Amino acid sequence: MGELYLTRDTRLNRRIAIKVLSAHLSGSAQARQRFGREARAISSMSHPNICHLYDVGEQNGISYLVMEYLEGETLADRRQVFGILAANTPERTRYCDSPTRCTRS
């Protein structure tokens, strides 16, 4: 759905992640609405393993999120070790206490 870039905020001297809505989806109202829901979901949560949302917007027709960069294991890495996490497994319970609150360690 999106492309993620790691960069540096030169004003505040910190690493940040910028997620942009993929170009092939930018014309889709449904994709833009989903991207907006993602931004609202992130901004409503506060947890050490969930990134903070710094900014959300659109530039030249491209929707973007600017987020805190969190180092750690990705869900893709986790899946390589444990496979797809079934809904009732201890590993999924540890990382996803609800559908909108999946975290990484």
Domain layout of the chain by residue ranges: 2-71, 72-105
Please compute, for residue 2, the number of CA atoms within 13 A of its CA located in the half-sphere on the CB side: 19
Q: Please give the model's pTM, rounded to 2 decimal places.
A: 0.70
Q: Do 57 and 64 contact (CB within 8 A), yes or no?
A: yes
Chain segment 6-43, per-residue pLDDT in tens: 999 999 999 999 999 988 898 899 999 999 999 999 99
E strand or H helix at 34, and its extent?
helix 29-43
Segment 46-69 mean pLDDT = 91
Q: Is 80 helix (H, G, I), strand (E, B) or coil?
A: helix
Q: Which CATH superfamily is domain 2-71 in?
A: Phosphorylase Kinase; domain 1 (3.30.200.20)
